[in-house]
Structure 1
């Protein structure tokens, strides 16, 4: 009997369909088993470690700078405006409150619309699915990843409430310009906190995540506002806002943050991260910037801006081969009592040159700004502010270097007379300083400099007072601080504390203090350094700016290569350096360049600070001195004397009469002719 071909093919098709059904059933069962296994095995999914923004603060708590790999801040849902929450749900996942993580209806609607438009115009992922992708999954597109995404989505829905999911989502979604999360977005686009956003601002931000670059108002303002209008329309449709509120939001003018806002403290921050905070990141700055730490610095906002301004505005003499304007400069201001750095800049512009001239390894000759350390050592070794040195040609063989040394004064001149230590400091006499150095021994001067804070390698040469070695500006500025602080040295500090993202204090700085100098010597040094601003002093040009007790010393290195000025009040030490990076001559002295620049910053820095005087310690005496002999002025001396300060016990032991002063009247002296007979004699 012949078989019917149609029946044969029909049976074959049935068998094939049965096999296919069986295979599909097995695949479906395997899929369901694998999916169920994934869901059930995720019992305790660890919190994803996401990069947070590391922030630096001024001493008043205002933000100095932010550093990040991903700009992100975690904030609770209570600090996220309802407009942001409602808008996100309306535009991203309208059925968020109803589904269990996967919206089958939404997927179908998105598929049909995309087919109708012949392009992808609508996604089917829910907020929970997007959160799963952002938190735990790689960006690859495979079936395995899709299954894992679905499993993670179900797990998130089982583990967290809808509000918790929404909070996590709004803290992780990307808004462009390295901003992750609504708080970073609010700061990036509007320079405000998320909780301060208006309805109009919220709607604009809510629309960005669909296309962070296309909908960025910085790149495409028109598209950003179209998207904002769509968000507001959806919010009205879903009953979150009224038509009147929508129209008001559409009419609201928005003010965006400028992307070109100037950053301050860049030299400071670079040094802080690379040196002072090294122990917190062990060289991995990328990981450090992910940490979300809050670093409270010692910088004063107004002083920092003033420091940057005066250095940026230095007169330009030339531009070097690298396009860097010369001369360059650096400025440091610190609190002598706490050691806190209040301002620091290492050049005209960080973008122009990253070389930080304020801190090691950059070192320059300080010139005569080093002399106070020599004179402090002299006071410690028995000399006084009234000790006298003749300023005249001097030719010596330096016993330490073995070279013949013939110092001159500024401009190769001499004073050709005796100068007291006070006078020598005022006019910055080189010969007097070298004689004082040789009298006590240069090793004593080196010892004093090290004690006060100089860490660089300096040698005990005869020329030591003229700063013929190199040190950093940070060293010089901090070494002057004990003069301002009663002989107490406070180690310089750059940060006050470091706080974790959770608010835990990880590190709190403590000022390290040490009494390194007799407070009486510190006071006498300060009193002598005040005279630098008096008529005839090296900084007399700015004496009209000095509106409170202030002491200072200028310095010009050999061949005018560098100019220095370090000065202080009881609550602020200011150090300034100016010079060419190639150390070619400036062809001007400190009085012409450093003094007016220092004065400009001083005027801005002390504005608003209380006027204080340097506290006078016990154990000092004021003595009237005869200018002719240097002895205590006799009651019968006809010269106009002056008052000098001495450490008790170091003042002159005799008066000028005993020293044979020719201007002392006889003890029993009568005018001649006698007063009662003067008319007759006339």
Structure 2
């Protein structure tokens, strides 16, 4: 019996004595292993902020926040030392007394439960070694611990330990643990709270105070007893901490609670734009890229997310969906909607709603859904026409026609929604009344390739078939694409790239990326303004009348796809551009209430009305070489400026129609009530 216990004890003790000697002559591979400590860069939690610097979300693989040792209360550090390694400031990496005590207990019990590891040894085991419980692994651990103590100070080792140690409930390090268990940062912990945290590393899951408060409290009192025995605290402090009532509460995590569709798009953007392929050409080089950088880099990401605009958008969309489908929660398929809104000067995305409920479906209908845009595409057609000699007063025949499509061996004959035809029609009137036949005729006269080229210039990247029906929105696009395309009109012809992420800082506070404003000229300022003026008439007198807001200049266009399956409205004021989409995911018809002017425009108006006070009221800026004149219904010019019984339009200087004094009255019904 004696030999059975003595021999393993003797061998183990001898091995550790040998390990002690090895501390002074480390094996050649020790240096590489210790580099993990001298260049300690643990996985950290990335924090995402809204426009006001409030936390919007956390992204991580290991929930860990870095600590600053100087800011921690001394009793927090002392609690861990008293519990885990009371000789921490004395030994050189291995505590001989603890080693022999551990071996004695293990030999006596016939188990290997007590390891006698110092804080330094625990770090080595956690970061560079396996968790095998063998004596040879313990020797390796001891050698590395001794060498580590030569490289780093005690304060550096303790700092790494307090950052690295797993504390249960998904929390790594004392900062994450303080937030997880006490809803406060580590520097604000009381002695009683610090003692509870110091007791967790022994068995983080079993001692989790959220699940086992009695066991956690028992362990906390053991820690307090150790602190008293080591003279870290007084008897009075011990008693007060012993009796303190602890309140366990997680720090609220806003992730996926507010602006989930916005956040998901930010996440997708980051995973792509933090790649080596995107950053290296900009002269930006990181130790990690892509998802590794996002989920382990401890980045600080600042976004344009605005909670006020988000709430206004959410309320407007919910109200619109409820009015269209009061029983939608009980119906399948479920009517969905989306809203995308951005500042026209900075490109900052103020609000992004991708559906009625992110937890119901994470599919983002503002950025991922490609749907037929219907008449929403017509301003692209008409802006192309303006660039090739048309004016807002150009008369175009609204009459039936058909063409043969050799590619499909079919006859294509566009139809108006009303089923009626009005003969010669001004371009501005055709846009306001959303006359299909005129749009199709103009596209064919200008050339479908030129229309598609203009769409590309305006930022449309989705596939656009080179067929005549593209003029009526047969191509499938995303809401974000259409909003970006429309940004050319109020911005003097230059589209602006939507920006959700504004800047990114690394864990050390150094800025690594600034997402600058990106613009591209897509048309002349004069064409852009004439289109803006025509789109104002769409709202004032045309199909977008439900988007009117008293006291605000509003321009925009409705869109409805074939079969009333997709309803759109994209409109803008001088400062804010917003698009709204409504429809079923499976493309089911919405019925007579599903036209863009009825379904989408009221949502737009409710949202813009709610945030109107965020901007100063002003008119659209007029570029040089723009003149105004009044025309008759057949396009003849009645004279410069505004004239009674006429329609005032914008023209590029020199393109005004020939002046003809009016000899007959303005015909009634040119602009019928199209609000339905």
TM-score normalised to structure 2 length:
0.81
Between the aligned partners of 2:16 and 2:621, the Cα distance in structure 1 is: 88
The alpha-carbon distance between structure 1 residues 294 and 638, as it changes in their structure 2 partners (threshold 3 A), is closer
2:269 aligned to 264, 269, 272, which one?
Answer: 272
1:543 aligns with 2:536: no
Whether the aligned pair in 1 keeps the contact of 2:489 and 2:528 (CA below 8 Å) is: yes
SS of 1:476's equivalent in the other structure is helix
Whether the aligned pair in 2 keeps the contact of 1:332 and 1:575 (CA below 8 Å) is: yes
The alpha-carbon distance between structure 1 residues 34 and 254, as it changes in their structure 2 partners (threshold 3 A), is closer
Whether the aligned pair in 2 keeps the contact of 1:332 and 1:574 (CA below 8 Å) is: yes
Structure number with greater Rg is 1
TM-score normalised to structure 1 length:
0.80
Kindly tell me the number of residue pairs found equivalent between the two proteins: 636
Whether the aligned pair in 2 keeps the contact of 1:267 and 1:350 (CA below 8 Å) is: no
Whether the aligned pair in 1 keeps the contact of 2:341 and 2:350 (CA below 8 Å) is: yes
Q: Which residue of structure 1 lines up, in the alignment, with residue 563 of structure 2?
A: 559
The alpha-carbon distance between structure 1 residues 382 and 202, as it changes in their structure 2 partners (threshold 3 A), is farther
Gaps of 5+ in 2: 1-6, 279-287, 667-676
Q: CA deviation at 1:469?
A: 1.7
Superposed, 1:432-581 pairs within 5 Å as 432-534=438-540, 536-544=541-549, 548-581=552-585
Whether the aligned pair in 1 keeps the contact of 2:270 and 2:290 (CA below 8 Å) is: no
Q: Which residue of structure 2 lines up, in the alignment, with residue 9 of structure 1?
A: none
Q: Which residue of structure 1 lines up, in the alignment, with residue 355 of structure 2?
A: 347
The alpha-carbon distance between structure 1 residues 642 and 317, as it changes in their structure 2 partners (threshold 3 A), is closer
Q: CA deviation at 1:576?
A: 2.4
Q: Which residue of structure 1 lines up, in the alignment, with residue 160 of structure 2?
A: 168
Q: Which residue of structure 1 lines up, in the alignment, with residue 283 of structure 2?
A: none
Between the aligned partners of 2:545 and 2:216, the Cα distance in structure 1 is: 60
1:256 aligns with 2:250: yes
Comparing 423-432 and 369-378, the one that deviates more: 423-432
1:61 aligned to 49, 53, 65, which one?
Answer: 53
1:369 aligned to 361, 364, 376, which one?
Answer: 376
Q: CA deviation at 1:118?
A: 11
Q: CA deviation at 1:304?
A: 4.5
Q: Which residue of structure 2 lines up, in the alignment, with residue 669 of structure 1?
A: none
Gaps of 5+ in 1: 1-18, 665-682
1:243 aligns with 2:236: yes
Between the aligned partners of 1:596 and 1:21, the Cα distance in structure 2 is: 83
Q: Which residue of structure 1 lines up, in the alignment, with residue 117 of structure 2?
A: 125
The alpha-carbon distance between structure 1 residues 242 and 268, as it changes in their structure 2 partners (threshold 3 A), is farther
Whether the aligned pair in 2 keeps the contact of 1:445 and 1:460 (CA below 8 Å) is: no
Q: Which residue of structure 2 lines up, in the alignment, with residue 427 of structure 1?
A: 433
Q: CA deviation at 1:387?
A: 2.8
Q: Which residue of structure 2 lines up, in the alignment, with residue 652 of structure 1?
A: 657
Between the aligned partners of 1:67 and 1:579, the Cα distance in structure 2 is: 32
Q: CA deviation at 1:478?
A: 0.9
Between the aligned partners of 2:419 and 2:189, the Cα distance in structure 1 is: 69
Between the aligned partners of 1:639 and 1:94, the Cα distance in structure 2 is: 95
The alpha-carbon distance between structure 1 residues 136 and 121, as it changes in their structure 2 partners (threshold 3 A), is closer
1:71 aligns with 2:63: yes
SS of 1:64's equivalent in the other structure is strand
Q: CA deviation at 1:465?
A: 3.0
Whether the aligned pair in 1 keeps the contact of 2:504 and 2:513 (CA below 8 Å) is: yes
Q: CA deviation at 1:206?
A: 3.2
SS of 2:596's equivalent in the other structure is coil
Whether the aligned pair in 1 keeps the contact of 2:580 and 2:601 (CA below 8 Å) is: no
Whether the aligned pair in 1 keeps the contact of 2:393 and 2:657 (CA below 8 Å) is: no
Whether the aligned pair in 2 keeps the contact of 1:554 and 1:564 (CA below 8 Å) is: yes
Superposed, 1:584-603 pairs within 5 Å as 584-587=588-591, 588-603=594-609
1:409 aligned to 398, 413, 416, which one?
Answer: 416
1:326 aligns with 2:334: yes
Comparing 210-219 and 602-611, the one that deviates more: 602-611
Q: Which residue of structure 2 lines up, in the alignment, with residue 397 of structure 1?
A: 403
SS of 1:591's equivalent in the other structure is helix
Q: CA deviation at 1:479?
A: 0.8
The alpha-carbon distance between structure 1 residues 324 and 427, as it changes in their structure 2 partners (threshold 3 A), is same
Q: CA deviation at 1:591?
A: 2.7
Q: CA deviation at 1:525?
A: 1.4
Whether the aligned pair in 1 keeps the contact of 2:397 and 2:423 (CA below 8 Å) is: yes
2:74 aligned to 82, 87, 91, which one?
Answer: 82
Q: Which residue of structure 1 lines up, in the alignment, with residue 366 of structure 2?
A: 358
Between the aligned partners of 2:246 and 2:20, the Cα distance in structure 1 is: 51
SS of 1:646's equivalent in the other structure is strand
Q: CA deviation at 1:144?
A: 1.6
Between the aligned partners of 2:129 and 2:318, the Cα distance in structure 1 is: 48
1:93 aligned to 85, 91, 110, which one?
Answer: 85
